[in-house]
Every structure is written in structure tokens, then in C-alpha cells.
Amino acid sequence: MEFYSIQIGLALMLAFVTFLLSNRINNSANRYLAILFGFISLLFTLPLIGEYFFEEWSGVDIIIESIKFLIPSFLYLSVYHFVNRPNYFLKKHYLLFIPFIMVVMVWLFLNSTETNRLFLENSYEILDAFLIITLFLFSVIIFYFVIKMLIKHKKNVLKLHSNKQGVNLNWLYNLILVFPLLLIIHLVFELSSEENYFVYFSNFMLFIILFYSGYHILQQREVFDLTTRQKLQFVNEPLQKVSFQKEELIDKNLVLEIANELEKLMEEEQPFLNKNLSLSILSDKLNTRTHILSFVINTNYNVNFYTYVNKFRLDYSKSLLKNPKKQHLSMEGVAYESGFGSKSTFNTLFKKQIGMTPIQYKNSKNQ
């Protein structure tokens, strides 16, 4: 009972915190995530309600099974709104709720008459097994599309951000890899005589998952950090994909002009020292559009935004490592002063480009 109460409280707290965050960052995605946590808290709460307030437990149990079908649906909606811009609810998203509606309709039918209720009572174990298998198959399909979106997002985020922390959604990717494993274990235990062991195991795992999710939810940043001007452009212009025809974009002279302005800005103002520098922030400084600036960087330097910005940071870090007045800085200090979001990212990129670690580079220059 005490463990259930902790889970209920934690799930409700996550739902509340995520909903509050939805007013500040990743609005639609966090709202759907808050609803998901709300349903998870219901899954913990309803067994207690059914045990203490209902004589016929089977009805409440079917409600719980039907709610389980909403978890993959809202997970998909949340991830979809995390990785897409603009991120409106589409007509095809209604299809996500068909399994839930069908389960509810079946439950209502089986409880509509005395004969149907008797059939439900006699066939409950078979129906329960069928629901679990259906839930497993539905979840596998949803997880496939969600993982596909997240893999694509990992590539796209390099075009939008110079710091992947808080925007690459790795935590969601890791969670989604765990859920199929839990479902398989659930299916095995449900069809065996050792179901109670799974209850203890799943409760513990969900407890860990909720804590893990809570930590990363608080660490998240806006994936599409549009400025006020850029948001107005999206509202006033018809919806279109970021991809575009090169000939419809700008002429070569304008590409060269933006490239010159970009180099001047990077040298004089050093915006790369901002660890959260994004394509939208930089394009706003240049008074141009994000897809235009992305095109200029891709065509002129043959790299994505992430690589382009971090090259300036690496060059700046090398100057710090050689500077006699900066010898007191730790490697972590050099990383942060150069605009990197973490020491690990700094070490990885430095060794990849320079061929040695920052400490080795520092020692070689000071000999």
C-alpha cells in the first residue's frame, strides 16, 4: 500500500510539473506527456479504488486494461510534437485512439446484460490474455514509429542546435527501449502462474522510470526555440516543410553576402560562447530565416550547424589552452568558457578534430 501511494504521488507530481513546463517550453509535447503521467497515476489508483469500493472487481480491471491502450497513444503524440515543427494535431492521430475506443465498447457490451456479465465472468481469463496480446502488438507498432521519429530527430537536431543536451531526447529513446522489454516480461508472467512476481518487478521498474523521467523532464530545453519574430512568420505564412528548392531560395550573391555577415558576426561578437546557441538565435542576429542560414552553412562550409559552431569553440579553447594567463583553468573551466555544454562533449570533439586530448594538447604547447 505504501509503495503504491509513493508511485501515485510521484506520477501525479510528474503530471503537474510537466503541465507547468508546457506553459514555458515544448508546449504541446509536454501537455501530452502530462496527460500520459496522469493516466499512469490512474493505473496505480484504480486498483485501490476497485479493491475498497467495488464488490465486482472485473469491471474496474477492464477499465484499467483499456486505459493501458492510451499510454502508447499519448507517448506517440508527445514525441511527435517534440520532433516536428509546426506540430499540430492531425486527423490521422485520431487513429491512435481506435484500440481504446474498441476496448471500452466491448466492456460496455459485456456489462450491458446479465447474460453478457455471466459470459464475462466465465471467460475473463481468456479475454484478459487477449487484451494483453493486443496491447503488446499495438505498443510494438507505436514504438516502431516513435523510435523512427527519434532516430530522425537525432540527425535533425545537429542542424538546429550547437549543444545537444536537453534537446536530443535521448532519455525518451532509452525509455522506449525499456517499455517493450517490460511488455514482453508482462506477457510471459501473465500467461504463466507467476503473475505476482511480475507485479513486484513492474512496480519497481515503473518507480525507477518515473524518477528517470522526472530528472530529464526538468533538464529539457526548447527543441524549436523560435524568437517572437520567427513565431509570427509561422503563424502568418502557410504551412510548408523546411526542405526547399535551391533555386527558389536566394541567388549566389545573397548567399555570399550572408556568409560574409556570418563570419563577421562570429569573429566580432563571438556568439558561439553561448552554450545554448541555436540556428534560430543566430539567424535572428543576422535578420534572416533559419532555413536560409542553414542552406548557407551547408553549401559554403559543407557541414551542419552543430559542426560549424563547435569548430569556433574548439579554436577558442585552443587559444585558452595556450594562453599563459589562462593556465589556472581546469579542463572543465576551459570547456565552459569556450561555450561547450559539458566537459565530456568538449573532450570528445577536441580529440576527434585535434587527434589528442585537451590535456595532451596543453602539455605539448607548454613544453
- The DSSP secondary structure of 219-279, one letter per residue, reads H---SS---HHHHHHHHHSPP--S---GGGT--HHHHHHHHHHHHHHHHHT-GGGSTT-BH
The CA–CA distances, whole Å, from 81 to 70, 181, 199, 267, 303 equal 17, 25, 32, 36, 27
What pLDDT score does 238 carry? 41
**59 pLDDT exceeds 60?**
no
d(CA 61, CA 46): 8
What pLDDT score does 244 carry? 44
pLDDT, tens digit (0-9, with 9 covering 90-100), for 105-145? 888 888 778 888 788 778 877 887 788 888 889 988 999 99
Q: What is the mean pLDDT of residues 143-157?
A: 93
What pLDDT score does 180 carry? 65
What pLDDT score does 126 carry? 84
d(CA 295, CA 249): 9
What pLDDT score does 245 carry? 46
Q: What is the mean pLDDT of residues 196-201?
A: 63
Higher pLDDT: 335 or 2? It is 335
What pLDDT score does 40 carry? 84
What pLDDT score does 108 carry? 81
Which contacts (CB < 8 Å, 24+ apart) does range 276-280 have?
276/161, 276/162, 276/163, 276/221, 276/341, 277/161, 277/162, 277/163, 277/309, 277/339, 278/160, 278/161, 278/162, 278/225, 279/159, 279/160, 279/161, 279/305, 280/160, 280/224, 280/225, 280/226, 280/227, 280/230
Q: What is the mean pLDDT of residues 213-239?
A: 67
What pLDDT score does 236 carry? 45
What pLDDT score does 106 carry? 85
Q: Which of 95-109, 121-135, 170-184 has the lowest mean pLDDT?
A: 170-184
CB 180 within 8 A of CB 188: no
**181 pLDDT exceeds 90?**
no
Q: Which of 96-105, 190-199, 253-262 has the lowest mean pLDDT?
A: 190-199
Per-residue confidence at 234, pLDDT binned at 50, 70, 90? very low
Per-residue confidence at 240, pLDDT binned at 50, 70, 90? very low
